[in-house]
Amino acid sequence: MPKDMEVLRRRMVEGLLQRGVIQSSPVEKAFSRIPRHIFLEGIIPAEHAYLDQAVMLKYPGSSVSQPQVIASMLELLLLKPGMKVLEIGTASGYNAALMAEIVGKADLVFSMEKEWDLAAGARANLSQAGYSGVNVEAGDGTLGWPRGEDIPFQRIMITAQTASVPPSLLEQLETGGKLVTPLVMSEGVTLLVRLEKGNRILGKAFPYPVTFVPLTGEGIQRQRENWRRKLENLWRGIQPFCRSFPLDSPRLWGVFLFLMREVLQGEGRERPEGLWYKWQAEGRPSLDDWVLEFDREGFVEAISRQEG
């Protein structure tokens, strides 16, 4: 590798350390060893690969996150040597290489990419960087890893923002395992959270604005359709009650407002506003202070303050 690339990479790592983004030795070593410019070859000039910036791979819908965001996610994931990890959103393969370096064995890393050409490119990048053992699969990551013999996983990372966690991914996470995802909390506000198996997640806020490519796929669409059916059933059940009141009845409008609230917190559970308001009111404390509970469909169901 050219000497100037090593200097630029070390400068990038030192910057992340000074800002407190990198906090652990395994993450520091991984960033120090993986040549990011290999994973962005032909997309941006090699010397730009070590700037703290995101890089668009394919418009729309695919990008490589900036190093500080990747480092924050890896720190939150608490990845350790020997762990088996699933990544949803391979992109260029750079993050998969970092994880392979941390777990100590490339074949413990499994990664899914919805774009077939990007998956092929990631395999080539990983091979060039010396991590050909990483398992890269092209397909719909919202449905989980397709080969049952590789399941369950001790860690899962989703590298696209979502308002809910696909149930198939929760099912593939072993008891006691952890999942990290950018969670859409409100319009324009995405927070990084860590889910721990058992339908509870501990959250951590980004100290800076972050935008991710949206997570799409059949698993997300199924969740939305399920929620629409719930709302339709709710409306059918409440219609007979509404007919017994005149149009200017306060009770009828109370029912209407109830339904609107369900819509905003339902298909709109895409925006768990309660946590966002509390986060603002408390002066934006670390979300490590809060516990979020997920329902079986991966939506935020309850929010409470962490005791102690």
Q: For 254-293, write each residue's pLDDT tens digit.
A: 555 555 555 445 444 444 444 444 444 444 445 555 566 6
Average pLDDT for 15-36: 96
| Per-residue CA distances from 75 to 1, 80, 121, 172, 200 (Å) | 27, 11, 26, 21, 19
Q: 308 in a domain, yes or no?
A: no
pLDDT at 88: 97
pLDDT at 300: 64
Q: Does the pLDDT of residue 136 top 90, yes or no? A: yes
Beta bridge partners of 184: 190
Q: 199 in a domain, yes or no?
A: no
Question: How many whole angstroms from its chain centre is CA 303?
Answer: 19
Helix H, strand E, coil C: the string for 243-274 is: HCCCCCCHHHHHHHHHHHHHHHHCCCCCCCHH
Q: Does the pLDDT of residue 308 top 50, yes or no? A: no
Say which CATH number the domain at 127 has: 3.40.50.150
pLDDT at 297: 64
pLDDT at 192: 82
Instruction: Provide the 8-state DSSP code for 306.
Output: P
Instruction: Provide the 8-state DSSP code for 93.
Output: S
* Tokens of residue 1, six digits: 């590798």
Q: Annotated catalytic, 65?
A: yes
Q: 102 in a domain, yes or no?
A: yes
pLDDT at 204: 54
Report how many domains make up the chain. 1
Tens of pLDDT, residue by residue over 108-134, are: 999 999 999 999 999 999 999 999 999
Q: What is the pTM of this model?
A: 0.79
Local confidence band at 106 (pLDDT 50, 70, 90 cut-offs): very high
Q: 298 in a domain, yes or no?
A: no
Pairing of strands 153-158, 135-138: unpaired
Local confidence band at 1 (pLDDT 50, 70, 90 cut-offs): low
Q: What range does the domain containing 22 cover?
A: 3-159
pLDDT at 247: 54
Catalytic residue among 65, 72, 164, 168: 65
pLDDT at 306: 59
**Per-residue burial over 1-25, b = 16 or more CB atoms within 10 Å of its CB, e = otherwise:** eeeebeebbeebbebbeeeebbeee
Contacts by 52-59 with C-beta closer than 8 Å and gap 24+?
52/12, 52/15, 52/16, 57/91, 57/92, 57/118, 58/115, 58/117, 58/118
Tens of pLDDT, residue by residue over 212-238, are: 888 888 887 776 676 666 666 666 665
Tens of pLDDT, residue by residue over 60-105, are: 668 899 999 999 999 989 999 999 999 999 999 999 999 999 999 9
Q: 86 in a domain, yes or no?
A: yes
Q: Token pair 């370096």 is at which residue?
A: 101
pLDDT at 103: 98
Q: 56 in a domain, yes or no?
A: yes
pLDDT at 35: 96
133 three-class SS: coil
Q: 258 in a domain, yes or no?
A: no
For 163, residues 6+ apart whose C-beta sits below 8 A from its C-beta are 183, 184, 269, 270, 271, 299
Mean pLDDT over all residues of the chain?
Answer: 80
Tens of pLDDT, residue by residue over 150-201, are: 999 999 999 998 878 888 998 999 988 999 988 876 666 677 888 887 655 5
Q: 62 in a domain, yes or no?
A: yes
